[in-house]
Amino acid sequence: MRLFAIFGNPVAHSLSPLLHNAVFTRLGWPDRYIRERLDDGVAIRKCFETFGLSGANITVPFKEEAAQLCDRVEGVAAVVGAVNTIVREGDRLIGYNTDAPGFWASLEGFAPKTALILGAGGTARALAAILKEQGSAVTVLNRSAERLEFFRHLGLAVATWEAFAPSKYELVVNTTSAGLTDQELPAPKAPLRSVLGEATRAYEVIYGRETPFMALAREIDLPVQDGKAMLVWQAVLAQRLFTDPPISNDEMAKLMFNAMELL
């Protein structure tokens, strides 16, 4: 039996065990996936030894620390400095970021030429990196200036709320935590309404609730999707890295969506 875990703080709300165990159950494998709340990300390496883990997912607030403690960091995880998936190879821990390709897969073939990302945190970094890699012209809009430096270095257009001159973007993505536990919009209403009015699709990374950003998009009849498919696809891609199961990614995604429906 192989054991996998998700590390975070808080982590009690995490649906990752449900998603990954649905795959193990379908395959009749004895492998299991658990969640573990940590006070300190430094403990991740020790936990791998103590529990004899084969792999793990990492969530808030340890993704950056996880990138530091891996022996090797692959692909987009190295660009953004954030790891959400660790695979053990012998004594070595290899870090990946499946949030970024998971987000891309969740777009289901929609490849925006222009994208506006609201927010400049860890999720914004992952999304900006994959959108840029896939050929989108990306602009990042954030409340404050400090976190925009990373995106400027990546060669992207950046703006704070004060300096923002709205333009036309096919995709507008909210990666801020505005709307997660409050009723706030991720940016001032007038410019936000203006960019949504010109967009083809709105995307909210939060899932499980209708946020003010989603409500605003619906108000103007703009198609909007929430973060559920991104959650599922990052898990599908992590599972592929963990165990390379003998079923397709689409079949895994279907199993995971079904598991969430049963909640």
Quick note: the x/- pattern for ligand NDP over 179-198, rule CB under 6 A, is: -x---x-x------------
Select from 16, 57, 176, 225 the one that contacts ligand NDP (CB under 6 A): 176
Q: Quick one: tokens of 164?
A: 């923002």
DSSP letters for 56-68: EEE-TT-HHHHHH
Answer yes or no: are the C-beta atoms of 195 and 164 closer than 8 Å: no
In the complex, least distance from residue 75 CB atom to ligand NDP, rounded to whole angstroms = 17
38 scored as a contact of ligand NDP (CB under 6 A): no
CA atoms within 13 Å, Cβ hemisphere of 130: 18
Select from 41, 112, 166, 227 the one that contacts ligand NDP (CB under 6 A): 227
Specify which residues 37 forms β-bridges with: 8
205 scored as a contact of ligand NDP (CB under 6 A): yes
**Those residues with Cβ within 8 angstroms of residue 46's Cβ, 6 or more apart along the chain or in another chain:** none
257 scored as a contact of ligand NDP (CB under 6 A): no
Q: What is the dihedral of CA 61, 215, 166, 187, to 10 degrees?
A: -40
Closer to ligand NDP by CB, 41 or 122: give it.
122
Is the peptide bond preceding residue 61 cis, with omega within 30 degrees of 0? yes
Closer to ligand NDP by CB, 40 or 89: give it.
40
Report the run of H or E that residue 215 belongs to, with start and end: helix 212-219
Closer to ligand NDP by CB, 80 or 93: give it.
80
Select from 79, 93, 230, 259 the one that contacts ligand NDP (CB under 6 A): 230
Quick note: the x/- pattern for ligand NDP over 1-30, rule CB under 6 A, is: ------------------------------
Answer yes or no: are the C-beta atoms of 151 and 105 closer than 8 Å: no
Interface segment toward ligand NDP; rule CB under 6 A; list 43-51, 65-73, 170-178, 238-246: 170-178
Q: Quick one: tokens of 231?
A: 């959650």
Residue type, 209: R
Q: Which of 46, 63, 113, 189 is catalytic?
A: 63
In the complex, least distance from residue 174 CB atom to ligand NDP, rounded to whole angstroms = 8
**Those residues with Cβ within 8 angstroms of residue 182's Cβ, 6 or more apart along the chain or in another chain:** none
| Interaction residues for ligand NDP, span 91-130 (CB under 6 A) | 99, 119-124
Answer yes or no: are the C-beta atoms of 224 and 202 closer than 8 Å: yes
Active-site residue 189, yes or no? no
206 scored as a contact of ligand NDP (CB under 6 A): yes
| Interaction residues for ligand NDP, span 43-102 (CB under 6 A) | 60, 99
Whose CA is closest to 127, among 63, 166, 80? 80
Active site residues: 63
Residues interacting with ligand NDP, by CB under 6 A? 60, 99, 119-124, 142-144, 147, 175-178, 180, 184, 186, 205-207, 227, 230-231, 234
